[in-house]
Amino acid sequence: MTNVYLSDLLERVRKPARYLGKEINAIYKSVEEIKVHLVLAFPDLYEVGMSHLGLKILYALANKMPEVYAERVFAPGADMEKILRQENLPLFSLESNTPLHSFDLVGFSLQYELSYTAVLNMLELGGIPLYSADRNEADPLVLGGGPAVFNPEPLAPFFDFFVLGDGEEVLPEIIREYAFWKDKGRKREDFLEKITRIPGIYVPGLYEPVYSQGNFSGLKALKEGVPLRIEKRTVVDLEHAFYPDSFIVPYMEVVHDRAALELFRGCSRGCRFCQAGFTYRPVRERSLNKLKELAGAIIDKTGFEELSLSSLSSSDYPQIEKLIDELQAQFHQREVSLSLPSLRADSFALKLADKVQHNRTGGVTFAPEAGSQRLRNVINKQVSEEDILKAAARAIETGRSHIKLYFMIGLPTETEEDLWGIVELARKISRLRKVAKGRRRPFKIIISASTFIPKPHTPFQWEPLLDLERIKERQELLRQGLRKVKGVDFTWHEAKMSFLEAVFARGDRRLSTVLERAFKMGSRLDAWSDSFDFSFWEEAFRREGIDPGYYAYYHPHTSAPLPWDHISTGVSKQFLISERKKALEEKITGDCRESGCSGCGLNNCPVQKGEAGCTTIF
């Protein structure tokens, strides 16, 4: 595509910076001088995709390899899609404006089930056949990675292969294998069969699902030698793992408009609803000195004015106070602020927030998840009401504008009493406002309620979603209860979006036809409420003769085969069953870094007796 023609396109869309490229630290190479041409595809708008740390890591890592050129492409907005379709133009990459069908490899980051129709839209706009079986030697190989691939089955027919686990471990191996295969001029089937020998690679075309009386009963290998269980890949030594410092600096505002410093990966707290807490195990940390070195290089090369200390729970970093103090001293003259995006709901976390927010005019955000101690025990959320109230009192006394609390409805064993616990907690915080000494500024309490989604590879993977009508009833109960509490704003997640997320989180390959049907009918960017149209999905399920409730509401026995059983996170199924049993008994499992190995079955885990290996207790 010529620059003149691209300029004409950009003049006709609302946010041209989404498609322009040319940002600071974007990488440009000569396409003619490289062996492997890769595009990293994010199935959401630019402002979302450019906030994702994983994309930044893989982009920089791949481009360090001299034989590789890695570019970026994002889901187009409705205005750009309309132009591309009207003028029969292909979706193109940001750096070289290359059509997607001209790349060697197209790698999708799969973060969220409601992005699946965006994947199909990008393939079609890019001139790539939707189904892997329909692609020939001239077509790119389509791969996927990210948290959603821990159950990739609804997307399986559309992908040539999936990467499980930490991408920076696997991507260089894939690229080297592809470069060798490309030189030899062999068939794509040969390449796909060969890479099954790389740990962490799943090639769905080499397997076939088996059903018995309409129920999934297992996965059958179609060729000898392919693994029947695919283990995720894990970066064991995060200290010496690759981490970029030349982050791309967007020209437009993005969701997280700041640099990110990853303190550690994984979480050992064991919240039973949290897929990331199980799939990213074990905890791996970077040293204080390494983090200071990386932080300095990142700010030098990007000029960002904010540095996010990023992890699943940043306040769990063992030297977090010292790190904050030393980074603030390091950046004092440069007016670089620090942020902590993920904090526990306790007074220590608020103390950390006070350290990084000197003016304390903003708010703080915590996630108690449940309104009663009983239900917090069920989900293994180890925070007490006293912790929450102490944190709220400190937030009020230090002059903050608001506190935001995240809860879930529809958790296993939840009762109406648990829901009223949310209302009562809000009321107690509201009372704290009244007794705060010297408080002049208004203080807002924001309660946000999402719906519990039973996710694969968690102790709650066998639990059903709360049915749609009961979700709406519970949302209304909270709305009515909280409107009587002064100073409270209440927000909630669209129930039908939660329903669809649950369907595809727990689905099998039969859902691929529904995905294609909904996409063809016009479904796009379903994660955006202004784009989401449930009627497309209702009609798609009806036409394909599939009951979505089968997937959302089914409650299988723990011995029943599950569509994702061939995918291994390293955490044993016996441990998940044990944790489910403890949940129903309202028993807590302690943080293994504080109370000792809990026996989850992971290898390469440093917890048990300080050794590199964790042996299951079952």
Q: What is the pLDDT of residues 373-385, one digit of tens each?
A: 999 999 999 999 9
Domain boundaries along the sequence of the chain: 3-231, 236-342
Strands (E) located in 44-125: 68-74, 105-109
Q: What is the pTM of this model?
A: 0.94
* pLDDT computed for residue 394 by the predictor: 85
DSSP string across 538-595: HHHHHHHT--HHHHHH----TTS--TTTTEE-SS-HHHHHHHHHHHHTT-----HHHH
Q: What is the pLDDT of residues 253-273, one digit of tens each?
A: 999 889 999 999 999 899 999
Q: Is 555 exposed, middle or buried (0-12, 13-18, 19+ CB in 10 A)?
A: exposed
Query: Quick one: angle between helices 116-125 and 78-86, nearest 10?
Result: 30
**Location of structure tokens 């942020």:** 339
DSSP string across 422-453: HHHHHHHHHHHHHH-TT--S--EEEEEEEEP-
Q: What is the pLDDT of residues 337-359, one digit of tens each?
A: 998 887 777 767 778 888 887 66
Do residues 307 and 298 touch, judged by C-beta distance below 8 A? yes
Class of domain 3-231: alpha beta
More confident residue, 596 or 294: 294
Shared fold status for 3-231 and 236-342: no
Tell whether the model's pLDDT for residue 614 goes beyond 60: no
Cα 2 off chain centre by = 35
Tell whether the model's pLDDT for residue 184 goes beyond 90: no
Q: What is the pLDDT of residues 93-128, one digit of tens each?
A: 999 999 999 999 999 999 999 999 999 999 999 999
* pLDDT computed for residue 361 by the predictor: 65
| Residue burial 210-228, b: 16+ Cβ < 10 Å; e: rest | eeeeeebebbeeeeeebbe
Q: What is the pLDDT of residues 450-472, one digit of tens each?
A: 999 999 999 999 999 999 999 99
Mean pLDDT of 282-304: 96
* pLDDT computed for residue 607 by the predictor: 62
Structure tokens that stand for 383 in this block: 């925070």
* pLDDT computed for residue 511 by the predictor: 98
Mean pLDDT of 383-405: 88
Q: Is 137 exposed, middle or buried (0-12, 13-18, 19+ CB in 10 A)?
A: exposed
pLDDT band at residue 596 using 50, 70 and 90 as cut-offs: confident
Tell whether the model's pLDDT for residue 616 goes beyond 60: no
Structure tokens that stand for 395 in this block: 């937030």
CB atoms within 10 A of CB 100: 23
Mean pLDDT of 7-11: 88
Mean pLDDT of 429-450: 81
Cα 6 off chain centre by = 32
pLDDT band at residue 440 using 50, 70 and 90 as cut-offs: low
Do residues 401 and 440 touch, judged by C-beta distance below 8 A? no
Class of domain 236-342: alpha beta
Q: Which residues pair with 397 in a beta bridge?
A: none
- The torsion of the CA quartet 269, 273, 274, 278, rounded to 10 degrees, works out to 70
More confident residue, 441 or 581: 581
Q: How far is CA 386 from CA 380, 389, 429, 463, 590, in A?
A: 16, 5, 11, 30, 19
Structure tokens that stand for 511 in this block: 């859902």
